[in-house]
């Protein structure tokens, strides 16, 4: 055990902390300090008395009277004490890590390793939020600050002036931004929720537990946290074998949260998730909240396992559309087979065409599934990009490179899993409902008259090679047009005729797309005899749009008509 850690253990014990003597603290190159059992141990219990728990009351005492105590004050307190070499907590402060690996403080070349991922895309925003927290506190107290415009400073300047000193715990002033960022990351990676010992405390309030916060994370470690009087206790159920590490369990955290908050990742992390942020117009959200109780718009509370982050979430009414104005966040993972359902419901709702169609109907369901799959595919493509050429001279740390690789692989794994689940779901839906679906292949098989007589008639005054069809959509429009014009629907396609007639009752305007399709197929100087009007083509066009979905495969797409229920 190093001298510093030994000093911390002795200090904690002399202040009433209880920890089995068989636990030894050693330093590991990537994990930092680790707790190793020197003997086989049965149930392990560690108890931290209130006298060495650091909480917002300490910040209140230190900064009174101009401070009423919150997590922000606690962050300032840690850097304040660190520079002061606070006498009481000296042994604790001396053992806080000075090298942090959170992705928030990586250099610009290392950020390149996260390009195209959610984390890579959100780092500057996260930093900007921390900066706002810092500057607000500083200004409120009239402390010196050099305000900067976060949007203007480039990555290299940001790194050199703020992130690098923070990542190394190097700062001369306790109230500087690098000092605050260092403290922020210390709390993010080490704090515990206060409610364990004070159930009535402010929601999201955190505390620091010297000694106990030396335990590393294992998502499978069975631990309990509880209070005994004013003390905080951790109990590890089941034994720990000699030579093995005693782990805490920080909760079901994916690598995105681990890498941003703690600076490490777990390989094959079963708790990995990918966040999808969907931004919708306020009136659409309003309409969903008012009329569609079955569509769940998740709120952050549905997911957050991080007590600490809740405190910064402004309390807002979740039935108010403005709660979702920055986007609705869905989290998908490989563990919960139902996690795609709320997303699919929303995408089906957004694929609904008019007032009479219900989002639970087959057509919007199939179209929604396509759109969701396309959105996931886009995300997958973005997360598959490799880092660009490096612009700066900063070296890439091999541990961070490893973390970025594992994180990216985890994201891609979740996306791949979600895309294949949707493919399977689509396959099942298509099989179950095949009698309600009509594609061009079936039409060509069952209705040879269309291709042999009716279609050529439309273009009989054109050279054959002048006529080309871009996709199955155009051919379907022409099929509907021919069948309606000639009254030649086959018995098995009567439902199309019925649906078409029903659609005629609704008012449609002629769209630009229908107009350009009309002039593409029937330019005035060429079609003297066909006598197809723009209105007729437009009616067929609108009908196909509102009664079909388009299925996209990697190289082609196919439009399929859907019989309504």
Ligand X SMILES: C[S@@+](CC[C@H](N)C(=O)[O-])C[C@H]1O[C@@H](n2cnc3c(N)ncnc32)[C@H](O)[C@@H]1O
Burial (0-12, 13-18, 19+ Cβ within 10 Å), 92: buried
Tell me which DSSP letter residue 15 carries: T
33 is a contact residue toward ligand X (CB under 6 A)? yes
In the bound state with ligand X, the residue whose beta carbon lies nearer, of 30 and 305, is 30
32 is a contact residue toward ligand X (CB under 6 A)? yes
Pseudo-torsion of CA 404, 407, 408, 410, nearest 10°?
160
Phi, psi of 228 (to 5 degrees): -130, 105
Applying CB under 6 A, the span of 77-85, 259-267, 307-315, 455-463 interacting with ligand X comes to: 259-267
Among 202, 217, 310, 413, binds ligand X (CB under 6 A): 217
In the bound state with ligand X, the residue whose beta carbon lies nearer, of 196 and 477, is 196
For residue 111, give the nearest of 427, 495, 394 by alpha carbon: 394
Burial (0-12, 13-18, 19+ Cβ within 10 Å), 449: middle
Phi, psi of 231 (to 5 degrees): -90, 150
551 is a contact residue toward ligand X (CB under 6 A)? no
The residues near 364 (Cβ < 8 Å, ≥ 6 apart) are: 348, 349, 351, 352, 353, 357, 358
Q: How far apart are CA 192 and CA 231, in angstroms?
A: 13
For residue 93, give the nearest of 128, 64, 119, 58 by alpha carbon: 58
In the bound state with ligand X, the residue whose beta carbon lies nearer, of 26 and 565, is 26
In the bound state with ligand X, the residue whose beta carbon lies nearer, of 101 and 447, is 101
Neighbours of 396 (CB within 10 A): 16
The residues near 452 (Cβ < 8 Å, ≥ 6 apart) are: none
Applying CB under 6 A, the span of 27-35, 159-167, 370-378, 536-544 interacting with ligand X comes to: 27-35
Applying CB under 6 A, the span of 31-39, 198-206, 268-276, 537-545 interacting with ligand X comes to: 31-39
In the bound state with ligand X, the residue whose beta carbon lies nearer, of 213 and 539, is 213
99 is a contact residue toward ligand X (CB under 6 A)? no
2 is a contact residue toward ligand X (CB under 6 A)? no
262 is a contact residue toward ligand X (CB under 6 A)? yes
In the bound state with ligand X, the residue whose beta carbon lies nearer, of 190 and 236, is 190
213 is a contact residue toward ligand X (CB under 6 A)? yes
- As measured in angstroms, the least distance from the Cβ of 126 to ligand X is 16
12 is a contact residue toward ligand X (CB under 6 A)? no
Strand partners, 559: 550
167 is a contact residue toward ligand X (CB under 6 A)? no
Among 69, 178, 254, 263, binds ligand X (CB under 6 A): 263
190 is a contact residue toward ligand X (CB under 6 A)? yes
The residues that touch ligand X, with contacts defined as CB under 6 A, are 30-33, 97, 189-190, 213-214, 216-217, 262-264
């Amino acid at each position: 055990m190093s001298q510093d850690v030994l000093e911390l253990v002795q200090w904690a014990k002399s202040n009433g902390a209880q920890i089995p003597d068989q636990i030894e603290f050693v330093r590991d190159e990537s994990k930092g300090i680790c707790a190793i059992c020197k003997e086989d141990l049965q149930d392990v219990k560690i108890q931290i008395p209130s006298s060495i728990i650091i909480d917002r009351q300490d910040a209140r005492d230190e900064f009174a009277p101009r401070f009423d105590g919150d997590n922000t004050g606690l962050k300032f307190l840690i850097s304040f004490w660190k520079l002061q070499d606070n006498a009481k907590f000296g042994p604790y402060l001396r053992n806080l890590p000075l090298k942090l690996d959170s992705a928030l403080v990586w250099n610009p070349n290392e950020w390149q390793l996260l390009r195209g991922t959610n984390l890579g895309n959100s780092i500057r925003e996260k930093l900007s939020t921390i900066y706002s927290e810092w500057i607000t506190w500083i200004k409120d107290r009239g402390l010196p600050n050099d305000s900067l415009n976060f949007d203007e400073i480039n990555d290299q300047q940001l790194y050199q002036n703020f992130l690098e000193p923070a990542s190394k715990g190097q700062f001369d002033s306790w109230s500087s931004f690098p000092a605050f960022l260092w403290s922020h990351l210390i709390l993010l990676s080490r704090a515990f929720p206060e409610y364990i010992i004070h159930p009535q405390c402010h929601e999201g309030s955190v505390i620091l537990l010297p000694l106990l916060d030396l335990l590393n994370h294992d998502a499978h470690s069975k631990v309990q946290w509880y209070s005994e009087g004013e003390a905080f206790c951790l109990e590890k159920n089941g034994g720990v074998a000699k030579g093995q590490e005693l782990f805490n369990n920080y909760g079901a955290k994916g690598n995105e949260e681990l890498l941003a908050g703690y600076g490490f990742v777990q390989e094959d992390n079963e708790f990995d998730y990918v966040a999808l942020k969907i931004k919708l117009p306020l009136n659409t959200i309003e309409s969903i909240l008012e009329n569609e109780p079955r569509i769940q718009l998740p709120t952050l509370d549905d997911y957050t396992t991080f007590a600490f982050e809740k405190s910064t979430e402004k309390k807002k009414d979740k039935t108010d559309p403005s709660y979702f104005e920055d986007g609705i966040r869905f989290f998908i993972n490989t563990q919960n087979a139902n996690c795609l359902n709320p997303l699919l419901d929303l995408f089906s709702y957004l694929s609904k065409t008019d007032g009479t169609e219900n989002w639970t109907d087959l057509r919007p369901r199939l179209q929604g599934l396509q759109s969701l799959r396309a959105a996931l595919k886009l995300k997958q493509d973005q997360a598959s990009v490799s880092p660009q050429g490096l612009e700066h001279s900063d070296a890439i740390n091999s541990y961070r490179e490893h973390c970025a690789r594992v994180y990216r692989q985890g994201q891609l794994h979740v996306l791949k899993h979600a895309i294949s689940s949707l493919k399977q779901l689509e396959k099942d839906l298509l099989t179950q409902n095949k009698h309600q679906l009509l594609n061009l292949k079936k039409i060509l098989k069952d209705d040879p008259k269309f291709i042999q007589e009716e279609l050529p008639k439309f273009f009989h005054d054109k050279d054959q090679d002048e006529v080309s069809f871009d996709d199955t959509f155009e051919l379907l429009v022409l099929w509907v047009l021919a069948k309606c014009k000639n009254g030649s629907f086959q018995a098995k396609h009567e439902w199309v005729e019925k649906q078409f007639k029903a659609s005629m009752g609704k008012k449609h305007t002629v769209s630009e797309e229908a107009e350009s399709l009309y002039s593409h197929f029937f330019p005035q100087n060429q079609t003297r005899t066909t006598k197809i009007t723009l209105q007729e083509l437009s009616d067929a066009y609108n009908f196909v749009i509102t009664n079909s979905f388009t299925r996209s495969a990697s190289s082609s797409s196919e439009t399929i008509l859907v019989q309504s229920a």
